[in-house]
Chain A
Amino acid sequence: MSNLSVSNVREFNTQPEGNPLVESPLAWSYRHHPAPRGNGQHAGVVLREKALLGHLVLRGGAIALDEAVRQTLGISLPSKPNALAFDDNGERSIQWISPDEWLVIVPGGEEFALESALRKALGDAHASIVNASGGQTVLTLSGDNAREVLMKSTSYDVHPSAFPVGKGVTTVFAKATVILRRPSETHWELVVRRSFADYCYRWLLDASAEYGIDTQ
């Protein structure tokens, strides 16, 4: 299928031909637990899902990965712990997860081409790329009370002095594990496992109720 000459890696595109129907991990939740209506105008918390993005988990040595990532994505691999970097238009990101692991998030549909390009750029380097797109989804929180909701939900310090823009951590959220990150002054992102998506979503609805919540 792939005519790359690199090792024995078999790649396959997880997006089938012909645009079959696809649902976000939260589709069931939207149907069964719609947000309370009528308070959208004064909502202190705005919750959105960035559904069906491309998620790639890169593992390997920082030097080889940095070169490959700069070639293919045009972003330098964040070498500092808990760092999060974006490309110029803010659509593609790469985040430090552990000393030999990074999470790349790109617009949905780009992930397979990116995976192939990365493999080509990596050549024989000892590295692993896993397409985790189907396994997780991204929620964004904004609004005047977004930080208060986070303070109720995670023991991680979300004060701006401890959690500046460009930081991202894997931590405890409610009783689940999420990747919490701060792409901008106004927005927070939660990368949530598919199996925890409904739980986190309903937790957020509940925790935001006192401020008013606006969902899509």
Chain B
Amino acid sequence: MFYIFCPYCKEHREEEEFHARGQAHLMRPADPDNTTDEEWGDYLFFRNNPRGIHHEMWVHSVGCRKFFNITRNTVTYEILETYPMGEQPTITADIPSVRHEQGVQAADGGWQTVGARPESKALNEETSS
């Protein structure tokens, strides 16, 4: 059981209310008629499976029923931020300094943390001591 911050309901909600719906920020090719089979196949079928920071689309299915985005660490399961559709993440794998500040780290105790800071930070400190 953990909590996820819904950017539309503007509060933390029980994980049970949400469903994961795959990789976020997939752009449909702007000109399908002039897209190669390979590009089209990439768009339709191929997804990233990174070790670390990943951006995913989730839906608050038992709640406001809106889709939104989550930046999640696939190693620690920590959810680093949630943001509405149409917005860009503030935390990405390319910004190691941000990663460090946000407390992303390899899993040491196998903990799962809650939706957003600062609660997650407090929880991490508590459980890792």
* Chain A interface residues (CB < 8 Å from chain B): 81-82, 97-99, 101, 155-156, 169-172, 177
Contacts and interface: CB of A to CB of B under 8 A. Distances in A.
Interface in B1-49: 1, 8-11, 13-14, 16-17
**What's the dominant secondary structure at chain B's contact region?**
loop
Interface of B: 1, 8-11, 13-14, 16-17, 62-66
Given A81-B10, A101-B64, A155-B1, 17 more contacts: A82-B11, A97-B64, A98-B8, A98-B63, A98-B64, A98-B65, A98-B66, A99-B66, A155-B16, A156-B14, A169-B63, A170-B63, A170-B64, A171-B13, A171-B14, A171-B62, A172-B16
A155 B62 CA distance: 12
Of B1, B13, B65, chain A has the most CB atoms within 10 Å of the CB of B13
B13 to A, nearest CB: 7
A156 B11 CA distance: 11
Contacts, number: 38
Nearest to A170: B63
Contacts of B17: 171-172
A99 B64 contact: yes
A139 to B, nearest CB: 18
B60 to A, nearest CB: 8
Sort A-B residue pairs by CB-CB distance and give the 3 closest, nearest first.
Answer: A98-B64, A155-B14, A81-B10
Contacts of A172: 14, 16-17, 62
B63 A171 contact: yes
